[in-house]
Amino acid sequence: MGLGETELIERYFRRPADAQCARRGDVPLGIGDDAALLAVPQGRQLVAAIDALVEGVHFPPGVPARSIGHRALAVNLSDLAAMGAEPAWFLLSLTMPAADEAFLTEFAAGMHALADQHGVALVGGDTTGGPLVATVQALGTVAPGAALTRAGGRPGELVYVTGTPGDAAAGLQLLLDTASGASLDEQGRQYLVNRFLYPAPRVALGRLLPGIASACIDVSDGLAADAGRLAAASGCGLQIDAGCVPASAALRKQRGDAGARRLALTGGEDYELCFTVPPGKAAVLAAQLDIVKCTATCIGSLVAGSGIDLREDGQPLELDLRGFDHFAGA
Amino acid sequence: MGLGETELIERYFRRPADAQCARRGDVPLGIGDDAALLAVPQGRQLVAAIDALVEGVHFPPGVPARSIGHRALAVNLSDLAAMGAEPAWFLLSLTMPAADEAFLTEFAAGMHALADQHGVALVGGDTTGGPLVATVQALGTVAPGAALTRAGGRPGELVYVTGTPGDAAAGLQLLLDTASGASLDEQGRQYLVNRFLYPAPRVALGRLLPGIASACIDVSDGLAADAGRLAAASGCGLQIDAGCVPASAALRKQRGDAGARRLALTGGEDYELCFTVPPGKAAVLAAQLDIVKCTATCIGSLVAGSGIDLREDGQPLELDLRGFDHFAGA
């Protein structure tokens, strides 16, 4: 006999009262009724994001269920981080072909571990039969007027990216084609694969950026494409010096310096933050990065005008910068 | 060339500034950034629900796209209504095999029409390729302490249901098997089909129920099963008099009185409200129903104990009351 929806939710998604995220005092009513009741702190604005992960689109069949649970939450926490918000709660809609208990155990473990790390609470959801799709809706709060958007950048501001983009795209390729890892040792291979399977949303840094950054976007479709979106929303042009684009040691070992930089500019699924900072605030940024143990690298600047001016060693660099679009080829 | 995600969202989901729901003053930032910014009124609690509609699970292939857009929002507004909440905003995650413009035009028209009817604003979303799944996350507000849950019922209270349950299940069956409508004229057939395709969430009544009703649930899996869930959550038993269960003229014409009552008790997808009221408040309820032009019928009462005591003409009536469960047969 199968597992009913009510029992499924009780067994896998209701947390024990001592779980980190179950101790929040701002959930008058969580999982189990028609809707959740949430106490938004007075004087805070609500920030809401929704993102779905679809098997065969956002991850290949056969990736660990733990990764799917982790990523479904991570991509939404990344959206909140890009707004400078403090994440608080999330809801999950999970459709899957069958109520597979091994899958659910691992999926829930991946999701709960990330939720506990950031102190966010699963407060409601919906599970049904269907193709494998995990949709998370994340809610957070921010001080009124403090939220970062894509549109706040101004000419002359410096453009930064956190971490080492490109790793996730290389990791996904390794999962799909193990031969592509020939030049890597096992440690390097695992590092890149884990960067795809378990991206770390930049929650702590995102919360510190209001007051320092002027505009922010999370990098999900490729650094150059997403930085270009930020510049366009800000009514600016974008200059990128490819030589400044950071790349991990593993990515450089696999592809060489130039190849690593290209993937760092075009690969997707990074969930790093790309943001702009007035030059006068670069020192404050450096101090805050140190506090949250996060790296961020200046890759260029916003300029008057429009479009992307991408250079390597002073020469124009031609790359396909359209970014990943789920319908562009449809 | 296909339609990109950004263009798709602009064309189909961003509303003109004069749309009813675009005039809300509480959306500092809507569609188009990493997340939406929302101004929750001071002194109100947030109410959040999420529900997915999956092709082949919640609706058969080939139903009008307008219905899918309508129902994706309707089922979530129904969840908020069951909490006694005032709906405010929603987010949409839509996965579909291709960016079909005829589908999107109709899907968006169905969703926007219902949104305008209830003054709720689409504030964010996500579209990707994949199987046809429409997930809506709805947000509303309620006065602190006023929200209705399933657990507030007490023995002796009267159990009501709005409208005429069973119609939607009959309508779905007519869509799947046109021969089942042999005893109906075209008007009756169309009435039942539309009750499945375009359910009317009981938003206005839901907002009036706090202070009158003690507990509430929305009827999505069958009246008897959902009323039983309310009774169980309230720590009560449930007595239902099948003879009191309302059924529409079309349903009675199709199935006879007894058959109509059975489907009214077991059919799903109604999105009516089932709620309990202390006998002393029945007159107040009647007055409020009159104001919002909604019918509600007393079908029984909560009693001490547990379980469902379902009777017809004084005799126990045996029905399969498990309600629809998307995984129970897995």
Chain B closest-CA separation from residue A50 CA (Å): 6
In chain B, the residue whose alpha carbon lies closest to the alpha carbon of A271 is B34
Which pLDDT score, from 0 to 100, does residue A180 have? 73
The average pLDDT across B76-87 equals: 98
CB-based contact (8 Å) between B60 and chain A?
no
Whether the predicted pLDDT of B2 surpasses 80:
no
The confidence score (pLDDT) of residue A148 equals: 97
Cβ under 8 Å to A: B residues 159-188:
none
> What is the Cα–Cα distance from A310 to B151, expressed in whole angstroms?
60
Of B85, B129, B217, the CB nearest to A330: B129
Residue B72 has pLDDT above 80, yes or no: yes
Model confidence at B327: pLDDT above 80: no
What is the least distance, in Å, from the CA of B28 to any CA of chain A?
Answer: 9
Tell me which chain B residues have a C-beta less than 8 angstroms from the C-beta of A8: 327
The predicted model gives B291-297 an average pLDDT of: 96
Question: How far does the CA of residue B114 sit from the closest CA of chain A (Å)?
Answer: 20
Residues of chain A numbered 86-105 and touching chain B (CB < 8 Å): 89, 91-93, 95, 98-99
| B94-141 residue pLDDT tens | 999 988 999 999 999 999 999 999 999 999 989 999 999 999 999 999
Tell me the C-alpha distance between A112 and A121, whole Å. Answer: 9
Is B83 in Cβ contact with A39 (below 8 Å)?
A: no
The tens place of each residue's pLDDT in chain A, 330 residues long, gives 356 777 888 888 888 777 766 668 899 998 889 999 999 999 999 999 999 999 999 999 999 999 999 999 999 999 999 999 999 999 999 999 988 999 999 999 999 999 999 999 999 989 999 999 999 999 999 999 999 999 999 999 999 999 999 999 999 999 998 777 778 899 999 999 999 999 999 999 999 999 999 999 999 999 999 999 999 999 999 999 999 999 999 999 999 999 999 999 999 999 999 999 999 999 999 999 999 999 999 999 999 999 999 999 999 998 877 666 666 543
pLDDT in the model for residue B6: 75
Tell me the chain B residues in contact with residue A151 when contact means C-beta distances shorter than 8 Å. Answer: 33
Whether residues B46 and A40 touch (CB distance < 8 A) is answered with: yes
ipTM: 0.92
The 3-state DSSP class for residue B330 equals coil
pTM of the shown model: 0.94
User: Considering CB atoms only, which of B80, B91, B327 is closest to A48?
Assistant: B91
Task: Tell me if chain A has a CB within 8 Å of the CB of B144.
Answer: yes
State residue B165's pLDDT score: 98
What is the reported pLDDT for B15? 82
Average pLDDT in chain B: 92
Which residues in chain A have Cβ-Cβ distances shorter than 8 Å to B92? 50
User: Which chain A positions have a beta carbon within 8 Å of B85's beta carbon?
Assistant: 35
Q: How far is A314 from chain B (nearest CA, A)?
A: 32
Query: Over chain A, what HEC string results?
Result: CCCCHHHHHHHHCCCCCCCHHHHCCCCCECCCCCCEEECCCCCCEEEEEEEEEEECCCECCCCCHHHHHHHHHHHHHHHHHHCCCEEEEEEEEEEECCCCHHHHHHHHHHHHHHHHHHCCEEEEEEEEECCCEEEEEEEEEECCCCCCCCCCCCCCCEEEEECCCCHHHHHHHHHHCHHHHCCCCHHHHHHHHHHHHCCCCCHHHHHHCECCECEEEEECCCHHHHHHHHHHHCCCEEEEEHHHCCCCHHHHHHHHHHHHHHHHHHCCCCCEEEEEECHHHHHHHHHHHHHCCCCEEEEEEEECCCCEEEEECCEECCCCCCCCCCCCCC
